[in-house]
Structure 1
């Protein structure tokens, strides 16, 4: 059994998949399995996945019969995962070579079952475009995450050996956010590691929507998925929006 299972959904990812594979193979911690689940891609992602799997038996590939979205694809990978730790890496993002080693060491040293790190931003060419997003200096709780989106998918890690497998709900958006909330709700705060160990690639077409619409969507999410009252949802959505605007004003980044 590998110490880390890396979870990657794949959909039309041929542009960046091999570069992402390079960052996985370059990890200083080599005791990993990489589980890729193709969400019925229409490009040659499948061929790339098959080629990668032939080169390295730590790479496990699966193919969904129809396009279901990144949540179900991640869930299939989580279901198949055998590692002690579950880590998430999307097919167009990448990690620093020592990400897994530093993150696992941090989890062990802090007796953590859930953790996240700081991260940077690049454009499609891999060039840095924004300042590092630094995580808070205190453990993130359920109520804190309702007010501020701090845990990014490519930085999250949880210990499935100690707390079991957590899956993403059947949503087209905010599946990862809902997963973090479910872990936090069960009393497992996320311990922050304030070191840039991952890079989020901002790809054309993935730009954030109208900010007001995002706040309204967040309000609906809290009411419909988290089952909070309207007034509680309004309270948390107000703070969530304010925190996002603070990031825009102070550091020129948008993290809603």
Structure 2
């Protein structure tokens, strides 16, 4: 069984996919499986993946287009590795990402870890200051802002089990992390920049004002908070999101 399972949803990602593939294949840590679920792409993504000659890469084609959370869940159900990590089909890891993360989790004896990451344009040119991994993460502080990025985080499924994504929510990653943090005391920061995140102009996560309602539902529907409590945390999330991405603070 592989020690690490990498989970990737893919949908019309052919423009950046080969660069992401190279980032995984060139990892210094080699005991991994890469589970890619294609969400019914209409470009050449599937063909690109099928042309890779590496038995560690396992492609599944979804029966229908169900979104990134649905695609990740398909891969998660088939994952066999102890450590679970995520990489979208357009993002990038430094060559020692897996090696550093596995070593850090074992050294710190923690169930969850995350690293700093670079925030880049579509050509991987830095656009804002690196997002720093400088604080422990807990359920309480994750309510106010989502410090965990999928591309720079890893958790130990042997100790906490697999955590699946709620399907149909645009904030599925935040809900998943909150549910995971209900099971553990704290996640630890690896204070190194180990990944690169592409900030697309059309990225859903960047259009904060358009998804305030979806964030409110994170608290109201998934955390089962009261209306007042849900509004309080939504306001905190919006403020922290502005500070996270505004050039006034970067």
Aligned partner of 1:160 among 157, 162, 166: 157
What is the aligned length?
A: 249
Aligned residue in 2 for 1:18: 18
Aligned residue in 2 for 1:34: 34
1:123-138 to structure 2, matched below 5 A, reads: 123-137=121-135
Please give the TM-score of this superposition, normalised by the length of structure 1: 0.92
Alignment RMSD: 1.6
Aligned residue in 2 for 1:111: 109
Aligned residue in 2 for 1:148: 145
> Contact 1:114/1:188 (CA < 8 Å) preserved in 2?
no
Indicate the SS of the match to 1:171.
Answer: coil
Query: Deviation per CA, 1:46-95, whole angstroms, max 9, x where unpaired?
Result: 1111112xx10111110011100010110111111111100100000000
Shift of the alpha carbon at 1:186?
1.9
Shift of the alpha carbon at 1:206?
1.5
Query: Deviation per CA, 1:144-171, whole angstroms, max 9, x where unpaired?
Result: 0010111011012111111111111112
Shift of the alpha carbon at 1:135?
2.2
Shift of the alpha carbon at 1:204?
3.8
Q: 1:23 to 1:204 in 2, by over 3 A?
A: same
Q: 1:72 to 1:61 in 2, by over 3 A?
A: same
> Contact 2:27/2:98 (CA < 8 Å) preserved in 1?
yes
> Contact 2:88/2:151 (CA < 8 Å) preserved in 1?
yes
Does 1:241 find its partner at 2:238? yes
Q: 1:188 to 1:64 in 2, by over 3 A?
A: farther
Aligned residue in 2 for 1:82: 80
Q: 1:63 to 1:221 in 2, by over 3 A?
A: same
Q: 1:93 to 1:100 in 2, by over 3 A?
A: same
Moved over 6 A (4+): none
1:189-228 to structure 2, matched below 5 A, reads: 189-206=186-203, 208=205, 211-228=208-225
> Contact 2:111/2:184 (CA < 8 Å) preserved in 1?
no
Gapped runs of 5+ residues in structure 2? none
Q: 1:93 to 1:181 in 2, by over 3 A?
A: same
> Contact 1:121/1:199 (CA < 8 Å) preserved in 2?
yes
Gapped runs of 5+ residues in structure 1? none
Shift of the alpha carbon at 1:188?
4.2
Aligned residue in 1 for 2:55: 57
Query: Deviation per CA, 1:104-148, whole angstroms, max 9, x where unpaired?
Result: 1000000011111111111112211111000233x2111100101
